[in-house]
Structure formats: C-alpha cells, structure tokens
Amino acid sequence: MLAAKINGTEQAMTPVIDPEACKPRAPRKLHAREQHPEDTVVRVGDVAIGGGAFVVIAGPCSVESEEQMVETAQAVRQGGGAILRGGAYKPRTSPYSFQGLGPNGLTLLGLAGKATGLPYVTELMDAEDLPLLEEQADMIQIGARNIQNFSLLKKVGRSSKPVLLKRGLMTTVDELLMSAEYILDGGNQSVVLCERGIRTFETATRNTLDLSVVPVLKERTHLPVIVDPSHAVGKRRYVAPMAKAALAVGADGIMVEVHCRPEAALCDGEQSLHPSEFAELMAQLRGMAAMCGRTI
Amino acid sequence: MLAAKINGTEQAMTPVIDPEACKPRAPRKLHAREQHPEDTVVRVGDVAIGGGAFVVIAGPCSVESEEQMVETAQAVRQGGGAILRGGAYKPRTSPYSFQGLGPNGLTLLGLAGKATGLPYVTELMDAEDLPLLEEQADMIQIGARNIQNFSLLKKVGRSSKPVLLKRGLMTTVDELLMSAEYILDGGNQSVVLCERGIRTFETATRNTLDLSVVPVLKERTHLPVIVDPSHAVGKRRYVAPMAKAALAVGADGIMVEVHCRPEAALCDGEQSLHPSEFAELMAQLRGMAAMCGRTI
Amino acid sequence: MLAAKINGTEQAMTPVIDPEACKPRAPRKLHAREQHPEDTVVRVGDVAIGGGAFVVIAGPCSVESEEQMVETAQAVRQGGGAILRGGAYKPRTSPYSFQGLGPNGLTLLGLAGKATGLPYVTELMDAEDLPLLEEQADMIQIGARNIQNFSLLKKVGRSSKPVLLKRGLMTTVDELLMSAEYILDGGNQSVVLCERGIRTFETATRNTLDLSVVPVLKERTHLPVIVDPSHAVGKRRYVAPMAKAALAVGADGIMVEVHCRPEAALCDGEQSLHPSEFAELMAQLRGMAAMCGRTI
Amino acid sequence: MLAAKINGTEQAMTPVIDPEACKPRAPRKLHAREQHPEDTVVRVGDVAIGGGAFVVIAGPCSVESEEQMVETAQAVRQGGGAILRGGAYKPRTSPYSFQGLGPNGLTLLGLAGKATGLPYVTELMDAEDLPLLEEQADMIQIGARNIQNFSLLKKVGRSSKPVLLKRGLMTTVDELLMSAEYILDGGNQSVVLCERGIRTFETATRNTLDLSVVPVLKERTHLPVIVDPSHAVGKRRYVAPMAKAALAVGADGIMVEVHCRPEAALCDGEQSLHPSEFAELMAQLRGMAAMCGRTI
C-alpha cells in the first residue's frame, strides 16, 4: 500500500500533503471572559450552575449496589444536595482494583436519580461509552487523569451533554482553560470547571487544594467553577472546612463524596462523609450562603 | 600520629568526646495537641491570638517613611486591624534591592504604633538584631526563608517575645511543627504559625496558598494558626477572596499587606491593598465572623 | 426503561450485581524484578532494547512532509540512530495548534523507514487509530498525557506491538509501574519505560529530567528504561549533556528530537538537534559506551 | 524614647530618613558569565575547583569521633578524594536529634585533615561561629536551608575563605545565582555552587537531583558547579549512578558521603558509601574522566 523508495509508479502513492494541513488554525478564545463578559450558566436537569446559587454535587466515589446508591442518594437529597455523583467507570491506579460496575452502574445511578429526583453526573473514561452516557447521564465528568486526553475532549465537545471538567494534578490554569477550549471549540458550551487539588511536595493531605485558582479562573473565564474538597484532602475530617472555604472564596459549588456507610466503601471511603456529617455541613453552608445573598 | 597545631605533646589536645554528646535527646512534643489539648492563646500587647477571635495583622511590606507608616497604620486602625506589620529588615532575593531601613524602620514602627495604639510585628533576619527587637517590637516574625535557620530559632526560643513563624515555600507540616518545637524547646511558648503559600508548578499566583494546612495544623497542634494571603497570591485582587476563605477554614487570623499608596510602594506594591479595599474586606470579614460567633 | 423504587415488576429490571464484580482481583506484579529477575529485552524490528546495547531513537517531533521526514531519517541513520521517531497524531495544549498529519503522517513515516531501513515509533492518542498503527508502526508510543488513560492502556495491552510508555509530568514511580502493569496484564509483555522530565517549580528548563528514576526503576522492574532529554530540557543546547548523563546513569537508551531544519519545525524546533549536532552527540556517546563495554 | 505624634520636641527624635536609603543599588551581575567569560577557579588548599579537573569531596555526614573521622578520611584519601567533608554543626529538622560536636568537631576535622593531607569543608550555621571556621576550616559550606539566610551570606561575603553554596530544596536557578551574588558582592570571589536535589512530588528518592541545572548554570555563570548525589537520592545504592551522571553532564566535581561504618552513623548512614564502594566508584569515575580528557 505504501510507496517504495525505488520506482516511480509507487512514489505516486506518496500522499500529497496540503501545506494548509500543517498550519495552525486562527486561535479563538471561547473560554475567555474578555470575549464573553457575562457568566455562563450550565443547566444540569433543573439545576443551574453558575447563576449565583451554590450548587452541591454529592454522592459516593463509586456505584456499588442498588441499596448503597439509593440510600446515599436519599441522604444527598435530604441534606440539600442538588446533583448526584457516582462512578460507574473508575480510573484506578492499579489494574487489579475494582474498576466500577460499568453499564450496570449507570442503571443504578438512574434508579437512584429517579428515586430522589436528582440529576446525576458520572465519569466518562472511554469514548466507546459516550453514546451510553449521552443517553443516560445528566452530566458527563472528564476526570483529572484525562484532562489532556484531547481525543476524548474533542468527542465530548461534539456532545450536547454538559461536561464537568476536572483539573489534573499537574494542570496549570492556562492548560485547564485550553482543555476547556477543546470542548467549547467542538460546539459544546456547557462546561463546568472543577478544582480538585494539585500534586505538591506536601503529604499531610492527599493533594493540595488550590483555592486561589477560583478567583483566578473567575477573572479569566465565564465558565462556572466548582471545587472538590474530598479528593484534595483525602480525609473526611478536613472536608467540611475546605467546603466552607470554597464557598467563601466564590466558587459556584462543590462536589463532595458522601457514602451511606463510608467504612464499607469500595473506594475512597476514608474521605467520604457520613450522611449526618453531610447534613451538618449543608446546614453550615446554607447559613454562610444566606449571609452572602446566595442560595443552596 | 595525630597532632594539634602547636607542639609535640599535642596529642593530649585531641578532644575527648563524651559519648553522651553524640546521643539524641529524648524527643518531646511540646507543640502537640495530644499533650496539650486546649488551644494556646498568644498575647501580643492587648491582643489575644488563638482565643476564638479572628485577628487581623496588617500593614505595609516594608517601612519606608514616617508618613507612609503612620498613614498606613491609621488605615489599619480605622479598618479594624488589631496588629500592625511592617518590615525594617527585608529579605530580598537580590543584594541590590532595597534592604529595609533597619533600626530607623523600627523607630518608625514604634511611632506608628504609638500613634494608633496598635502593637506591631516585624521580621528578625539576623540574631544580632534580636536585642533591639526584644526592646522595641511587640512580636518577632521569623520569615519563610529562615524557617530552618535553626540557630535563629534557638535564639528566639530563649526570648520572651511572642514569635510569628512563617512556613517556608517548601516546608512540610512535619517540618513546620519541628521548627516551632525548636522555639518551644527553648522555653518560649508564644508561637503563632503562619501559612503564606507554598511553591508549586502553578505560576498564575505567586505561590499556592495551602489552606488545607489550617485544619491539619489545628488537629496536630495547640498553637494558633494564621494565614498570609498577600504573599501567596501576589496580586491585590485575589487577596480578599483568600482572606475570607481563611476565616471560613478556621484560621485564627490573617496577615495582609496594606499600603497607603500601593503604587508607590518600594516592595510588593502589587499585592498590597488600598486602605479602602482593606476597609471593605474588613466589613465583609466582620459579617462572616459574626455569623460564626466570632469577633474581629 | 429503568426500574422504579416502588413496585415489583419494575424492580425486576434492576440489574442484579454479582458481589464478585465488586471485588478487586488478586494483584499480580508482572512488572516486578523480584518475580522476573532477568532483564526483559523488547524487540522493535531488528533492534533489541534492554539487551545491553544503548539504543538511540531519534527524529522530528512531528511529521511534516516527505522531504522533512526522509531527510531527517537519513540524518538519524547516518548518525547511528537505531529507531526513527515522529508524531503523526500530536497532543497539543491548544486545539488551534497543528494537530499532526494523521494517517498521511504514518505513510510518510513508513516511507522514511523504508528509505533508511529504520523501524519507527509513533504516538497513539485515540484507540480508534490503534488498528492502523498496529498495521503500520513498529512501536506504539503512549505519551505523557495519557499515562493514566487506563482505557487506552488496556487496549494496547491486548496488542502485539511493543509499547513505549512515557512517564507523565506528575507520575510517581509507583504509578508509572502500575500503568505498565495495565499493559502487561493485558498480555503485552513488550513495554519500554521512558523518563521525559517531571513538572517542578523550576522554569529554567521546560521540565526537570529525573535521572535518578533510572536506577530506581532498574531495581524495581525488569522492563527496559530509556530517557527523553529533549522534552525535559526544552532547549537544544542542554540536550547533549543530559543524553550523556542518561548513558552514564545506566539507561537502556535515549529518545532525542532531531530535525533537518529545526528553525522551520512546526513543533518543538527549539529543542531539536541539527543533524550535525546529532552526529557529534552520537560520536561522544559511542566513545562513552565503548568504555562501559556497551554498543550503540 | 520614641517621638510622639503630637508635640514638637518629641518629633525631633523621629529619624530623618535619607531618601537615598530607600533606593535600590544599581544591580551588578558579578556571577554572570557574560561579564566574566572565563571559568573561575576556586582554590581550597592545594585543590583547584573549576579548572577542568573533576574534584571529589567526600566524608561523613557528621563528625562523630576521632576514630571515625580519621578512618574515614584515610578511606577518602586512598580512594582518591581531594577534599574532606564532615559536619561539626548539623542542621537537624528536630531539636532533639544529634546537633553535631561543634568546636570539638572542627578539631577532629583538623586532625583528620592533617593525618591525610586533605583540606576540609564544613558547614557554617551561625555567624557566631564564623571566626572559628575562618581560623580552622579550608572551605565554608552554606547549607541548603540557609540558601536565603541573607545575613549569613553577607557575612561569608566578607570572609576570605572559599564558600560552598548549596542550592536549597526550593531554590530556582535565578535565586541561587542571586544568593551567590550576595557573597560576591561582599568581596569574596571564591564561590562554588552545589546542586543537591530539589523537593518534588516524587518520594522514591529523598529529593530529585536536578542534573540539568549543571549545563544551565555553566551557561549563566563562571562559578564552578558541583553535585551532591548523596543527599539527593538518600540511598547508598543510587549514589554511584548519579555520581557518574554528574561527571557526564559536565559538573566540576561531586560531594559524596562516605563513612567507615555507615550502619553505625549518627546521621544519614543510609546514604553513605562504604569505603570499598567509594573506592570502586572512584575507579569508575577515573576511567570516565580519562576518556573525556579530565583528571580526578
């Protein structure tokens, strides 16, 4: 099929590269506030992220069973959470760890969503699963490890589902905005950015939550910005202070891990809040939000 | 075979090392909450740090003139700041940058303090200046660059002045607590810890403010913990959100840079608040503090 | 479609989750030297990586034209390079940058390979392109940004092509080995690890080449380890010293960027060696290798 | 004593600040190669650092006893080391760890130096000890933790002893050169820079040895640059590969920890070479150096 280096007829098979194909495109800055001064509001079911309310996304790290999912969703609903989270496809460092329930996990998320009236967000790891998520999920999460998986970004950019884009452990602000740009450039304008901790030398917490990225992002982009304190701190008892700090710093919401029985969780139980802890945190957040003229 | 530098009997001059001299001492954990469950309250003049109030330390990066110092101190006072800050000895990366006014700077701090009734904190860089600071200053700051200058830590450990110990750019929680331990071990129990940003890969902010260190430190130590958002973010417009986050996360106070004319500041003007910005921030902090049952 | 939480007929639609599906698998350690003491040798065409020789992979960052590819390949061949590199699919931070020639790039790589007799390695970004790369390429590169794109790792794990796995900017040794494990676990035993610089606070170089990872990896795994100095330093004049250090530290080879006209390169020209610089470096490496009883 | 803000006689006591005192000095760039193209050669006793030879500084982390010091010095001498190292004043994270033998340690270093004919370098932590070190030591080390202890830098800048300046864990190239500038600006032109590992996220090694800083520094400054692999890697078995890489990358020498009985060392025994390991490393380095036309 390829041209050989010897004779002429074969060389005719060499592709003729259009010089235009090698040129960069004229850069757009679809993410930039300078080109779009008003805040973007992203709708997930009936929930608006970025419109002034403080939106709480909560749920278990991974979907494990119907009982776990429905019970936890009810705790999220009762506490005042607006969106449910849960992983059906799990990015795990080791191939031998629990990898998620896959399509069955999506079914259970749907059940829990119906049981509580909450829309749900779940992570997409493989473009092959995008049609299924588009059909079933309310919001698609691109996880920290795929923040520069540009093939995947392009594909969700062609989707009509809202996207929750998590900053990677090593992602600069410029890179995060450029990864968002991949999605916007594809036509999907419903992108929510999420700070979830960066990797530093400090090991007292799992990662280092970079809350200063919130005012930086709010200045540079019109996209909503939320904070995931759970993955950043890695320990349940540090989640509530960081969640309150996220509200104070001006984030549009948080994503926290809640599990009906954290001690039995298959993944990240150490950082998941008990339902009662979640309810207590929500009460505190509501008080703080009211003082700032915001609702939860 | 061996010899000292003068004469033949010389071998008698070889020191006889007491094996005890080589042994580590039994470790104490004077900083640890497990050994001292109640919060330590550090008194600076009439101000109590660590007793539940949210203490605001404010002032210019460096002392420049009587007019600058007194005007700024009045703005701090009017805004509701409790302690004045200002550098008379300045640690500058380049030897050719302004190095501070030295003793004259202390005199001006004293004047500004008297004019406003505010106690002041100022940085000690050289142990030679300790007697002067002990005589004149209300609180001695050990800056981030000297966080593991153990000779200096030992010396302020023998002082009776309260010490503000700033975490270095690459200091782990364990190291910070051990540096505090050097001071406590010397007999000085009045130590306040200060998070001021760590060095990471991110350059959108000057450093990365690690607010999660506040709940971590509150758990491990009884010492008060404050936050310096100004040096961490490096830009005026990001200071207020981080200051509010510091209150929300549970810090005992903040240290912020305020300058009567930031655009003319000799050092760090870009991150210094205007008096009006400071007043506005303080109003917001008072509202938040009241909601949490705290005073400023 | 989904089951409701109330009545029985619908509950029948709830998936019955086999409790086994939630269990982690028994961990294997296919990468570990303790289970496989002898060095693995990975064959790419006629070239053996890991068998004691010092293998040099060289070529342009991206494939741009037939002329560029063939000329550069000839320079690589003349200098003594063993494997050709070139990107047909380019992971670019911005969606507006040149994204690579895609299948046409592979055709040109094939032409250049035939013209010189060199096998070639090229990056896979999207699993959709795997069949094409399996058909055409001699070795498949997984780039730093996809180091934890576990879906992609699983898919190349089921391929029979050798894989060059580049450490990410924030990948720990443990994580790198676990990413390799994903590939090994799939049945593909031909994995070469590549250090290419990690992200630190230092900006004098593009990234920080972590050469100490070479002895660490050689101790922990039987897989070959090579070093990419070009991406790590980001500047042409620092490439040769780091390449020599890579040989001295015990790496199994290097991957360096060479371009027939670096000043006209569409990507990473600043870090690409001129053919004459490459030839000079190769001469120095051959001298050093000979002294260590190794061949290039 | 201080002036009050109200009445005139007291205001007379306010210092009159000369506006010149607030101005930065005209920056010099004494460290810069552009102003001093030829390499600086620093002499330590009879040893020249920076003149083309590869200088090996070796010895224990801390001075412990006459026997330990003399035995280790003899091993250093026999292996071919040019300068002895050993700490009499030890910067330890914990105040309860062994802090060094102080002046007795200097005496033992002097004994070991006389016994072997080797000059020695030892760390200065406290300016109070400078006169003693100036009298006794051949070279003064400023440790990583004091890299921005500007008071100390100014004081060794006024000394006539050569200075070994170690890069801190968080020191950028620019900062390192500015810290050297403090010493040069004081009049002391005998400064040797030392890379000893920076702090990153990776924990497989104690720190991350940044060998790329060697060509970067060689380009920017005329000062000699050496490498300390021992503190960077933290484990004995990784020291030799990194030492060889330091030679290959173009450093002017290395500083390695050697102890006659590492398993009994009071400090850093895990990273200290046995005398036989040191001898073996030296033989390898001599072979490599000869090939590059350098001597050890």
**pLDDT tens-digit readout, C173-188:** 999 999 999 999 999 9
Query: Which of D246, D249, D240 has the alpha carbon at shortest distance from D281?
Result: D240
> Å from A201 to nearest chain D CA?
5
Question: Tens digits of per-residue pLDDT, D182-193?
Answer: 999 999 999 999
Q: Which two tokens stand for residue C130?
A: 């795997």
Selecting from A26, A94, A185 the residue whose C-beta is nearest the C-beta of C181 gives A94
From D164's Cα to the closest Cα of chain B, the distance in A is 17
Confidence class for position D9, pLDDT limits 50, 70, 90: very low
Take residue A177 and report the two structure tokens written for it.
């905005």
Contact A202 B172 (CB under 8 A): yes
Percent of chain A residues past pLDDT 90, beyond the cut = 89
pLDDT at A292: 84
Whether the per-residue pLDDT at A3 is higher than 80: the answer is no
* Chain A nearest C-alpha distance from C287 (Å): 33
SS3 category, A248: helix
**What is the biggest distance separating any 2 CA atoms in chain A, rounded to whole angstroms?**
80
Among A141, A79, A86, A133, residue whose Cα is nearest residue A109: A86
Phi and psi for C141 in degrees, rounded to 5?
Answer: -95, 135
The whole-angstrom separation of Cα D279 and Cα D274 is 9
Taking the C-alpha atoms of residue A119 and residue A49, their distance in angstroms, rounded to an integer, is 13
Best CA proximity match to C128, nearest among A155, B13, B250 = A155
- Indicate if the pLDDT at residue A9 is higher than 50: no
> What is the spatial distance between Cα A85 and Cα A228, in angstroms, rounded to a whole number?
12
d(CA A205, CA A222): 30
| Token output for D293 | 């036309």
Decide: C209 and D211 in contact? Cβ < 8 Å: yes
Helices (H), chain A: 8-11, 66-79, 103-116, 130-136, 150-157, 173-185, 213-220, 229-233, 236-249, 275-291
Residues D249, C250: C-beta atoms closer than 8 Å: no
> Average of pLDDT values for A148-160?
98
**D103-128: average pLDDT:** 98
Which one, of D73, D98, D101, D103, lies nearest residue D85 by Cα? D73
Chain C residues whose beta carbon lies within 8 Å of the beta carbon of residue D244: 248-249
Note whether A282 and A243 are within 8 A (CB). no
In angstroms, the separation between the Cα of residue B86 and the nearest Cα of chain C is 28
Taking the CA of residue C188 and the nearest CA in chain D, the distance in Å comes to: 26
User: What are chain D's partners, defined as 3 or more CB pairs within 8 angstroms?
Assistant: A, B, C
Lookup result for tokens 């790329």: D212
Which of the residues A201, A206, A208 would you substitute to probe the D interface, choosing the one with the greatest number of D C-beta atoms within 10 Å? Answer: A201
Which partners does chain B have (≥3 C-beta pairs < 8 Å)? A, C, D
CA neighbor of D144 nearest in space, from D209, D205, D83: D209
pLDDT of residue B267: 87
Instruction: Please give the pLDDT value at position B282.
Output: 98
Residue A13 pLDDT grade (very low, low, confident, very high; cuts 50, 70, 90): low
Which chain B positions have a beta carbon within 8 Å of C199's beta carbon? 201
Nearest Cα residue in chain B from D173: B93
D244·C244 Cβ contact <8 A? no
CA distances from D124 to B170, B171, B177 (A): 22, 21, 24
Mutation site, C249, C284, C288, interface D, largest D CB count within 10 A: C249
- What's the pLDDT band for B19 if we cut at 50, 70, 90? confident
Alpha-carbon distances, residue C50 vs C84, C192, C221 (angstroms): 17, 8, 12
Q: Where are the domains of chain D?
A: 41-291
As a whole number, mean pLDDT of residues A135-146 equals 98
Chain D residues in contact with B65 (beta carbon < 8 A): 17, 22
Q: Could A248 and B241 be called an inter-chain contact, meaning their C-beta atoms sit closer than 8 Å?
A: yes
Token reading at D279: 């001898």
Residue with tokens 């920890």: D257
Euclidean distance between CA atoms B90 and B146, whole angstroms:
12
Q: Are D200 and B198 in contact (CB under 8 A)?
A: no
- Cα separation, B67 vs C87, whole angstroms: 63
Cβ partners under 8 Å of residue C60, min gap 6: C68, C69, C72, C85, C86, C87, C257, C258, C259, C260, C265, C272
Beta-ladder partners of B221: B32
Radius of gyration in angstroms for the set of CA atoms belonging to chain C, rounded to a whole number: 21
| pLDDT band at residue C13 using 50, 70 and 90 as cut-offs | low
> At C49, is the secondary structure helix, strand, or coil?
strand
Query: Does the distance separating the beta carbons of C201 and B200 come in below 8 Å?
Result: yes
Decide yes or no: CATH 3.20.20.70 for domain C42-289: yes
The H or E element spanning position C214 is: helix C213-220
- pLDDT tens across B96-142, in order? 999 999 999 999 999 999 999 999 999 999 999 999 999 999 999 99
Phi, psi of B18 (to 5 degrees): -70, 120
Over residues C35-80, the pLDDT tens digits come to 999 999 999 999 999 999 999 999 999 999 999 999 999 999 999 9
Question: Cβ–Cβ of A27/C65 closer than 8 Å?
Answer: no
The chains found to touch C (3+ Cβ pairs under 8 angstroms) are A, B, D
Contact indicator for C166, C91 with CB cutoff of 8 Å: no
Q: How many residues would you count in chain A?
A: 296
Token duo for residue B197 = 């940003």
Average pLDDT for B155-178: 98
pLDDT digits (tens, 9 = 90+) for C100-122: 999 999 999 999 999 999 999 99
Residue of C170, C198, C201 to mutate when probing chain B, most B C-beta within 10 A: C201
pLDDT at C16: 76
Please state the φ and ψ torsions of residue D72, each to the nearest 5 degrees: -65, -40
Name the residue of chain C whose CA is nearest to B202's CA: C201
Q: Between chains, do B244 and A241 touch, taking CB under 8 Å as contact?
A: no
Question: Which are the contacts of A9, defined by CB distance < 8 A and separation ≥ 6?
Answer: none
Please indicate whether, in this complex, the C-beta atoms of D198 and C208 are within 8 angstroms of each other.
yes
Closest CA relative to residue B158, chosen from B117, B120, B186, B135:
B186
Query: C180, C193 in Cβ contact below 8 A?
Result: yes
Spatial CA neighbour of D289 closest among D10, D94, D53, D4: D53
CB A220 within 8 A of CB A32: yes
The answer to whether the CB of D193 falls within 8 A of the CB of D221 is yes
What is the DSSP pairing of strand A139-142 with strand B55-59?
unpaired
- Helix, strand, coil percent content, chain B, rounded in steps of 5: 40, 15, 40
Averaged confidence pLDDT in chain B: 94
Using a CB-CB cut-off of 8 Å, the residues of chain D touching A203 are: 203
Can you tell me the distance from the alpha carbon of A286 to that of A55, in angstroms, rounded to the nearest whole number?
11
C8 pLDDT more than 50: no
Nearest by Cα to D100 from B152, B17, B156, B16: B17
> Is A231 within 8 Å of A271 (Cβ atoms)?
yes
Q: What is the pLDDT of residues B175-221, one digit of tens each?
A: 999 999 999 999 999 999 999 999 999 999 999 999 999 999 999 99
Kindly determine whether residue D211 and residue C216, on different chains, have CB atoms separated by under 8 Å: no
Q: What is the mean pLDDT of residues A215-226?
A: 98
pLDDT of B14 reads: 74
- pLDDT tens track for A100-128: 999 999 999 999 999 999 999 999 999 99
DSSP per-residue letters across A37-87: -SPP-EEETTEEESSSS-EEEEE-SB---HHHHHHHHHHHHHHT-SEEE-B
**Cβ contacts (< 8 Å) between B203 and chain C: which residues?**
203
Over 70: is that where the pLDDT of B239 sits? yes
CB atoms within 10 A of CB B132: 14
Which residues of chain B are at the C interface, by a Cβ-Cβ cutoff of 8 Å?
199-201, 203
What is the pLDDT, as a whole number, of residue B13? Answer: 58
Q: Mark out chain B residues that contact chain A at CB-CB < 8 A.
A: 170, 172-174, 198, 200-205, 208-216, 219, 232-233, 237-238, 241-242, 244-250, 287-288, 291
Mean pLDDT, chain A, integer = 94
In angstroms, the separation between the Cα of residue D203 and the nearest Cα of chain A is 9
Task: Tell me which amino acid residue B101 is.
Answer: L
| Tokens (6 digits) for A175 | 């890179």
For A114, nearest residue in chain C (alpha carbons): C4
- Token pair in block for residue C284: 């120095």
pLDDT digits (tens, 9 = 90+) for A235-282: 999 999 999 999 999 999 999 999 999 999 988 889 999 999 999 999
Q: Is D22 in contact with B98 (Cβ distance < 8 A)?
A: yes
Tokens of A48: 């608006």
Please give the backbone phi and psi of residue C234, each rounded to the nearest 5 degrees, phi first. 75, -5
Token digits of residue D71: 């035995």
Q: What is the DSSP letter of D124?
A: -
CATH superfamily of D41-291: Aldolase class I (3.20.20.70)
So what's the pLDDT on residue D10?
47
Phi and psi angles of residue D7, each rounded to the nearest 5 degrees, phi first: -100, 160
B43-291 CATH pick, 3.20.20.70, 3.90.45.10, 3.60.21.10, 3.40.50.720: 3.20.20.70
Assess whether pLDDT exceeds 80 at residue A19: no
Across C75-176, the runs of DSSP E, i.e. the strands, are 83-85, 120-123, 139-142, 163-166
Output the CA angle A223-A224-A230, nearest 5 degrees: 135
**How far is Cα C99 from Cα D240, in angstroms, rounded to an integer?**
42
pLDDT at D1 over 80: no
CB atoms B245 and A249 under 8 Å: yes
Query: Do C200 and B203 lie within an 8 Å CB cutoff?
Result: no
Cβ–Cβ under 8 Å, residues A146 and A125:
yes
Distance CA C180, CA C148 (A): 10
For B170, name the nearest residue in chain C, comparing CA atoms only.
C201
Contact D151 B125 (CB under 8 A): yes
Which residue in A292, A264, D95 sits closest to B240, CA to CA? A292
Site from B249, B285, B292 to mutate, A interface, most A CB atoms within 10 angstroms: B249
Give Cβ neighbours of residue A153 (< 8 Å, ≥ 6 apart). A142, A146, A179, A182, A183, A186
CA distances from D216 to C203, C240, D28 (A): 11, 12, 20
* Amino acid (1-letter code) at residue B50: G
Which residue of chain D is at minimal alpha-carbon distance from C240? D249
Pick the CATH number of A30-78+105-291 from 3.20.20.70, 3.40.50.150, 3.40.80.10, 3.10.580.10: 3.20.20.70
Evaluate whether C257 touches C229 at the Cβ level (below 8 Å): no
Whole-number Cα distances in Å, B31 to A53, A134, B37, B161, D145? 41, 53, 10, 17, 22
Please give, rounded to a whole number of angstroms, the shortest distance from the CA of B152 to a CA of chain D.
Answer: 8
Q: C66: which chain A residues are within 8 Å (Cβ-Cβ)?
A: 14-15, 17
DSSP run (H or E) holding B59 = strand B55-59
Q: Is the pLDDT of residue D61 over 90?
A: yes
Average pLDDT over residues C234-253: 98
